[in-house]
Amino acid sequence: MLSPETILQGRYRIIRQLGQGGMGAVYEALDQRLDTTVALKETLFAEERLRKQFEREARLLARLHHQALPRVSDHFSEGDGQFLVMQYVAGDDLSAMLAERNGPFPQQEVLRWADQLCDALDYLHTQDPEIIHRDIKPQNLKLTARGQIVLLDFTHQRQTAGRAQPRRRSGKRTAGSLTSGQQSRAAGKRSCCRRVE
């Protein structure tokens, strides 16, 4: 765990830890060069395979541009950690917000958030190769001050080899066949109602 005031790369000053998981932590930090607050995701691992996975996540996120996805500006290694520098989204995640409410969110708000999330998923699913997030849950969703949902934590994402490649599911698939979501997109319809992995 990094202490507050730790400086990384001569640029990023740790303010506080935001969260911790089995493989690392996320910190709020100040980019002293640009005088802006960022989120630093630290991942600790010794395996080369995991280091490459982290670098793949960094490159993947850096090329994505959608209002419901965090912007990535840098990645680097320092000490035992790999770090991803991304947009800091202030506030609590939906899980914490729900716990504070002691009741459900208003239906109209949830529908608006769902539409924003579906738009982000449609964006991810229409990349080439297609990107599947695989860990959508209230803890990985934040709400900006302007009411925009932001989908976080791409640790478990998966890229398919190409949009027309089959995925293993319970039924048999023919090689090269399209998923129902891909068929809808080919027909010009938005689809985010298919099963999210």
Query: Which positions are catalytic?
Result: 135
Q: What are phi and psi of 7, to 5 degrees?
A: -110, 130
| Amino acid type, 29 | A
CA 63/CA 120 separation, integer angstroms: 14
Q: Is 164 exposed, middle or buried (0-12, 13-18, 19+ CB in 10 A)?
A: middle
Alpha-helical runs (H) found in the chain: 48-62, 94-101, 107-125, 180-186
